[in-house]
Structure 1
């Protein structure tokens, strides 16, 4: 089985499986983005999160919060309020951490050049400890301040998702045009131009005269011309 067929089989198998995330479905703010990728033969998504504010109860191992086997006190994909955080913090027995996590999108790509289109990384996050061994270490005023920051990041994250969707859609449309229409037209134009070029430089061929070995080498060199197609995927200020 060739690689393209194997990739299609793997894609069909993965997309047919049940959603094993905590929510059990794709987040509303990222549905269109996921559909755009899965609608293309060269991509399929394996997991996604549109962005969330979470409150975890677990000790810190160095600077990394281990989410596996910890207690999830609060999870929301929408802006939250201070009162909700204060209520669940009372249930914390260890080190509770407030986090904002931006868009996460895991995508399988057919080829390296397909993966390069999706090469976008963000450091738009937030992680702050609030309790230690169940004891609240900050004031409610500070918690309110943190929640405002997290909510602002959530709104900015939503704008970035929309911008990424638009840029990706534009890039994929441009790629489709380049692959299907542009090369064929350029190849035809190049062949016509190359034929005319050779005809002018070697009038002996048109008259049925002998062509020297040097002229033959010159013609072979002409065949190595390249149209030089290049595509800009995202704007520089993305």
Structure 2
């Protein structure tokens, strides 16, 4: 328990190194609740997002692995981010960004994800139970080397990924289709937020006092 307490203190004292640099507002309450429990602490999280990014159609992972250039706030593992939102999106914003893209791109919806370190297997079991009961059925538990670090991962399944421009940056969809895709992504994001509220309620019922 002393070792877990040291890990927790060190993790919570670290600066937020995520691209956004802060906890997403939709999960701020649940993050603070989890970190307030003695047997748990969050290691990473995202409330869910709608993202317009580049699409590596070559699949050349080796090129990215050998790239020593520092990553900026608009790149991640060789992927360029043109637009990202953790809130409901106006299609006009995406269409405007598409005008400046010079290569293959795609629009994605990525659901809520959270990783939580637990102080023992029973704590992880309780956390996983709440995750699955909330509808996050892609959740799971992983053990670190030697079984000392126990991570419970919460993951949704409602993903979306649609190409919007080809390798030359030419639009392969019209504005009407972009409107439809954004409407679909917004519905998924709204449902995602509803599930997060259920998740918070389940945690408060399930986690040991």
Smaller-chain TM-score range? 0.7 to 0.9
Of Structure 1 and Structure 2, which has the larger fraction of its residues in helix?
1
CA positional deviation for 1:23: 1.1
Q: What CA deviation, in whole Å up to 9, does each residue of 1:148-185 have, x standing for no partner?
A: 0011111101100000100111112xx33xxxxxxxxx
Q: Per-residue CA shift, 1:190-230, capped at 9, x if unaligned?
A: xxxxxxxxxxxxxxxxxxxxxxxxxxxxxxxxxxxxxxxxx
1:131·1:138 contact (CA, 8 Å) conserved in 2?
yes
Residues 56 and 67, structure 1, Cα contact 8 Å, conserved in 2: no
Q: Tell me whether 1:164 sits opposite 2:199 in the alignment.
A: yes
Aligned residues: 169
Q: Would the alpha carbon gap of residues 50 and 143 (structure 1) be closer, same or farther in structure 2, given more than 3 Å must change?
A: same
2:27 corresponds to which residue? 30
Shift of 1:58: 2.8
For residue 74 of structure 1, give the secondary structure of its aligned residue in structure 2.
strand
d(CA) in 1 for partners of 2:185 and 2:122?
A: 35
> How far apart, in 1, do the equivalents of 2:110 and 2:15 lie?
24
Distance 2:54 2:163 in 1: 10
Give unpaired runs (5+ residues) of structure 2.
60-74, 132-137, 139-155
Structure 1 position 68, deviation (Å): 1.7
Residue aligning to 1:11: 8
Residue correspondence of structure 1 range 3-152 to structure 2 within 5 A: 4-60=1-57, 67-119=76-128, 120=131, 121=138, 122-133=156-167, 134-152=169-187
User: Secondary structure of 1:94's partner?
Assistant: coil
Which of the two has greater strand per residue? 2
In structure 2, distance between residues paired with 1:44 and 1:95: 38
How much does 1:57 deviate? Answer: 1.3
Q: Relative to 1, partners in 2 of residues 1:45 and 1:61: Cα closer, same or farther, differing over 3 Å?
A: farther
Tell me the SS of whatever aligns to 1:118: helix
3-state SS in 2 of match to 1:100: strand
Distance in 2 of aligned mates of 1:24 and 1:81: 23
Deviations 1:88-135 (A, max 9, x none): 112222211101111111111111221122323321111111111111
Structure 1: runs of 5+ lacking an equivalent: 177-238
Q: Give TM-score scaled by structure 1 length.
A: 0.67
Q: Distance in 2 between matches of 1:68 and 1:104?
A: 19
SS of equivalent to 2:31: helix
TM-score (norm 2): 0.76
